[in-house]
Amino acid sequence: MNIQSKPLSVLPNYASDSYLDAFSRINGLVIIGEGIACRHFRYLARAIPDDRDELLRLADMEARHASDFVGCANNLKVKPDLTLAKRLFQPLHDLFLSCERDENIAGCLTIQGVIVECFALAAYQNYLPVADSYASPITAAVIDDESLHLSYAERWLKLNLTDAKTIVVEISRKALPIALAILKTLAGDMRKISIEPEEIVASFSEGFKQSMESIGLSSKEVNPILIRAVASI
Ligand code: PL3
Ligand code: FE2
Ligand code: FE2
C-alpha cells in the first residue's frame, strides 16, 4: 500500500546513501528532542502539582515518541547520529534548565510547551507527506500528541498571563533564534530527505503566531520577536 500523499516523482529514494546519511542526523535530532521533551515534562509535573497526572501522561507520550522514532531508524537500518543532536539541542535545554533553577514555570512552558512543540509540529507536518510507509503512520500519531502538548501550554499561559506575559516575550526572544539555528544547521540534510527548510520556517512562524494569539498576545507584541529571529538565520 502506498500511503504517501505526494506524487512519486517528488518522493525521495529511501534506499539511497544520500537519503540514509541525511536521515541519520535528522532522526538523531528527533530522538534527542523527544527525550529532552520527556525530561522537561517530568520537571513540569513536579513544578505544577495540580496538573501532575496530566503532565506525566505528556512525558510518557514523549518517551514513546522517542522509541517510535528509534524504530523508524531501525526499519531503514540507520544508526541515528545522537552526538551531533545532543550538541544542537544543548543550548535550548540549558535555557530550560536556567528557568528551572529560577522556578520560572512560565519560561519553561514557553520553551518546551510552545517553542519546541511548534517546532516539532512544523517539522513533522512537513515530513509527513515525504515519510516512508513505516514512518508515516507513526508521524501522523505523533502530530496528534504534539498538538495536545501545545494546547496544554497555551491553556496554562493564558490563565496566568498577567504574571507570565513579560516572561513569554523575554524567553521567546532568547529561545527562537536558538531553535531556528538548529534548523539552519540541518537545512542541507532536510533537503536531502525532500523537506524544504523554508517551509518549516513558514509553518513554524504561522503556528507560533497563532499560539501567541491564543495565549493573549497581540501581533504587535509578537511580530518583532519573530521577524528578528527569522532574520538571524
Ligand atoms: C517535542 O515533543 C519533541 C521535539 C522534537 C523536535 C524535533 C525537530 C525535528 C526537525 C526535523 C524534522 C524532520 C522529521 C523527521 C522524522 C524522522
Ligand atoms: Fe513528542
Ligand atoms: Fe511534545
98-107 pLDDT, tens digit each: 999 999 999 9
- 3-state class percentages of the chain: helix first, strand second, coil last, to nearest 5: 85, 0, 15
Task: Specify whether the CB–CB gap between 131 and 139 falls below 8 A.
Answer: yes
pLDDT value at position 10?
Answer: 78
The type of residue at 40 is: H
76-93 pLDDT, tens digit each: 999 999 999 999 999 999
Of 128, 33, 139, 131, nearest to 76 by C-alpha is: 131
pLDDT value at position 2?
Answer: 46
The three three-digit cell numbers of residue 54, written as one number: 496530566
Q: Residue 94: which residues within 8 A CB-CB, separation 6 or more? A: none
The three three-digit cell numbers of residue 196, written as one number: 524544504
Task: Specify whether the CB–CB gap between 113 and 121 falls below 8 A.
Answer: no
Element (H, E) at 223: helix 219-231
Cα of 148 vs centre of ligand 3, distance in Å, is: 8
Which atom of ligand 1 sits closest to the CA of residue 73?
A: 17
In this predicted structure, the answer to whether residue 63 has a pLDDT above a threshold of 90 is yes
Of 119, 138, 135, 118, nearest to 12 by C-alpha is: 135
Instruction: Report the SS3 class of residue 209.
Output: helix
pLDDT value at position 6?
Answer: 64
The three three-digit cell numbers of residue 105, written as one number: 514555570
Kindly state the average pLDDT of the residues 152-163: 98
Work out the pLDDT band at 7, boundaries 50, 70, 90: low
Element (H, E) at 148: helix 135-159
Task: Specify whether the CB–CB gap between 27 and 80 falls below 8 A.
Answer: yes
Cα of 162 vs centre of ligand 1, distance in Å, is: 32
Which atom of ligand 1 sits closest to the CA of residue 34?
A: 3
Chain centroid to CA 204: 9
User: Distance (Å, rounded) from C-alpha 56 to C-alpha 99?
Assistant: 19
pLDDT value at position 145?
Answer: 98
Helix axes 82-101, 17-47, angle to 10 degrees: 20
The type of residue at 114 is: V
> Percent of the chain at pLDDT above 90?
94
pLDDT value at position 201?
Answer: 97
Q: Give me the half-sphere count of Cα atoms (radius 13 Å) on the Cβ side of residue 204.
A: 24
Which atom of ligand 1 sits closest to the CA of residue 26?
A: 11
User: Distance (Å, rounded) from C-alpha 225 to C-alpha 177?
Assistant: 9
Q: Whose CA is nearest to atom 4 of ligand 1?
A: 33
Residues within 6 Å of ligand 1 by CB: 26-27, 29-30, 33-34, 37, 62, 65, 69, 72, 116-117, 119-120, 123-124, 127, 146, 149
